[in-house]
Amino acid sequence: MRLTFIDVHVIYPGLEIPALNGVNLEIMTGERIALVGRNGSGKSTLMLTANGILRPRQGALLLDGQPVRYDRSGLRELRRNVGVVFQNPDDQLFSASVYQDISLGPLNLGLSHSEARDRVLQTAEFCGLSNLLERPTHALSGGEKTRAALAGVLAMSPRFLFADEVTNSLDPWMRQQVLEILERLADSGCAVILATHDWPLASAWAQRIIWLEGGSIFRQGKPAEVITAHNIDTFKSR
């Protein structure tokens, strides 16, 4: 399966400068991608557009070659396949317990309570949350909240996962746990797109780096092709 951006422009209401400006991009399932760029370069906008939260002003988003429809059924299909984990997990955790929060996605997809329970248990085990299912979400640590937010998206079995700087505020041990989850997810066939400011992480973890500047793709390719001393200096000066 592939997710394709064709000449995508996104402009926020009341602003003249596009947040995305002519993005052309194709992502295949199974890829590990690092999305880099300074604040305001368009990383979060690209993720929200991929999930249908934002709609292109111009251009098209295609899922497996078919244009995305922005009616209820079209968005439901898109969000079943494309998940987003936000930078702040508190923006994503709404329910009283971890179990309830993870079950929301499967239930919204129309699964039975029995099927949803199976998804919750499988996803909780995958994310190391099996012993926390009855814990109130507000009582979780920062790393536990990140994993719970991640589990809530993974319970919908997406084919593409966009993770918006989810490792930034974590301690090294919890950061490694989250990265291992993302790597196992990619190995299972899901595309994982991680937005990060961490160049060493991008270089070591990703198969492809997409570097955004001013809402456009400034450079992309294998880490060795994108991350050079010259390019890093260019990034820092921008």
Torsion region of 14: left, alpha or beta (phi above 0 gives left; psi -120 to 50 gives alpha): left
For 62-92, what is each residue's pLDDT tens digit? 999 999 999 999 999 999 999 999 988 888 8
Tokens of 48: 């929200």
Residue 233: what pLDDT? 61
For 99-145, what is each residue's pLDDT tens digit? 999 999 899 888 899 999 999 999 999 999 999 999 999 899 888 99
Tokens of 211: 């570097």
CATH topology of domain 2-237: Rossmann fold (3.40.50)
Question: How do strand 66-67 and strand 58-63 relate by DSSP bridges?
Answer: antiparallel
Are the CB atoms for 34 and 196 separated by under 8 Å?
yes
